[in-house]
Chain A
């Protein structure tokens, strides 16, 4: 019920916004969705991966390629797109979780780079440097979903993702993930299959990123390689750190803040808002490792 209320509230807003603000609003919601998924992987399960944004791209590209080059119907294209994400995620996660330490980060860093290379070199399949453009969402039951109505789809995605991760966090699986993050040896001793927990968390969040990517594909009606590069993967990590890793509310605050900050900073520092991000991240890690949400808790406790 609470989720439904949140959805109605979020989805009602764009009907009062102009086109430009609607666009900004949509992208912010997508970033929040991504940050929530990444927070589960990085903040709750303690795995550092740079591939989350690549999976966003894999989702977007696969749905576009399936729909418009292979002429697959929309429901099947969505299922196949998710399947692609799951297969790639398993192929990366299973071997790299066998290894100790930082290896998942390295394997996913290589994957993220490789993905951009493949996009650029994919010829007519991926459209090369320019990507694919000039397509639009197929009609669903003869209805064309556009404008604020499509924003409602994004709101449903966000609320659905939040609800799923929130439930999961409170289930045995969420507790297993936190145990794996805090002390893998102790978790194993308690009967948690550490490797399997890591693989499931990685695959699940990657698939969620893929779904978000499919929704993104029809926001600008264009997909191209620069969007899915490493810079945005770093930005996602920064959002979760600044907001507060391991807390859903932290991910929401971090994503909204870092996404909106450039709009407010650009009159002051021009295009150099990334410098501010870097300083913010270093400051967050040094001064308040729990992020903004930790700062909020601290202020509430002391007042």
Chain B
């Protein structure tokens, strides 16, 4: 039992990271239909931003975090400008920007691998190494920090989509692009903002997860796949689905690694199997979109 409670906190924390990545996908898929696999590379860029500002130049954590976020918004906006907008304006099929973004994924990864040596780069913990006990639940400071950050982000986006006019306009675009455009919503601005937001969330995920796994230029693809699996499980219909999917995925992963009598390597296969099962049986995800 003690064992299980210990696992609960760490699984929740990694579920939160997957949830953030799934949210980054969702922010872009909802209004545009574009699946952007570069999300994982964005997380990697965020992690390297953390290394540069927090480890190398030893900035204050909050200031470093804010600058990384601002930089990620810029990266997302620039990506949309370079690889998405020209194609959308030309009326290219939706596959074209997806493939262009796959090309951008390679560009991001290689730019980082050219700029930094290939070994892992440490990123500091905001509150140091330590344990926090909350009643029966115990875990590292970082686990609780990740959970708190994720809850704030999700609450923020929930408020944005549900309560603000801007957020409602995003929803309108997601439901029907043409009708939304006819109602006077600026489609290209919504697209640009959704990419900036997606990059911000992905970079944040990379920044908070990097103290545990270190920043490395190959960290992107596994994160991209896990985030995507979380999205498939939760469904693209609702913001909460991303978090739910991430948590389910992390628990499935950690419970099999801990308790199932199979070699640890096979446990890596569990999320992939889960993703295939969900794709085949429940392609809309667990949560249905609201009508």
A, B from the same assembly: yes
Q: Mark B137-155, 1 if CB is under 8 A from A, else 0.
A: 0000000000000000000
Q: A110-B275, A230-B221, A279-B103 are in contact. Are A102 and B35 (CB under 8 A)?
A: yes
Report if B105 contacts A (CB, 8 A). Answer: yes
Q: A275-B107, A289-B92 are in contact. Are A282 and B279 (CB under 8 A)?
A: no
Q: What is the distance, in angstroms, from B263's C-beta to the closest C-beta of chain A?
A: 6
Do the beta carbons of B279 and A121 come within 8 Å of each other? no
Interface residues of A in 91-128 (CB under 8 A from B): 95-96, 99, 102-103, 106-107, 109-111, 113-114, 117-118, 120-121
Report how many residues on chain A are interfacial, defined by Cβ distance under 8 Å: 34
**Minimum C-beta distance from A49 to chain B (A):** 13
Residues of B within 8 A of A289 (CB): 92, 96
Q: Which residues of A contact B113 (CB under 8 A)?
A: 272
Q: Is the CB–CB distance between B275 and A238 below 8 Å?
A: no
Residues in chain B near residue A111, CB distance under 8 A: 276
Interface string of B172-190 (1 = CB under 8 A from A): 0000000000000000000
The residue that A237 contacts in the complex, of B82, B102, B111, with Cβ under 8 A, is B102
State the CA gap A82–B78 with chains docked (Å). 46
A218-245: CB near B (< 8 Å → 1, else 0) gives 0000000000001000100110010000
Report how far A272 CA is from B112 CA in the complex, Å: 11
Q: In the complex, are the beta carbons of B110 and A285 less than 8 A apart?
A: no
Residues of A near B221 (CB, < 8 A) are 230
A268 at the interface (CB under 8 A from B): no
CA A237 – CA B106 in complex, angstroms?
A: 13
Within 8 Å of chain A (Cβ to Cβ): is B45? no
> Residues of B at under 8 Å CB distance from A?
35, 82-83, 86-87, 92, 95-96, 98-100, 102-107, 109-111, 113-114, 221, 225, 228-229, 232, 263, 265-266, 268-269, 272-273, 275-276, 279-280, 283
Interface residues in chain A, defined as those with a beta carbon under 8 Å from any beta carbon in chain B: 48, 95-96, 99, 102-103, 106-107, 109-111, 113-114, 117-118, 120-121, 230, 234, 237-238, 241, 272, 274-275, 277-282, 285-286, 289
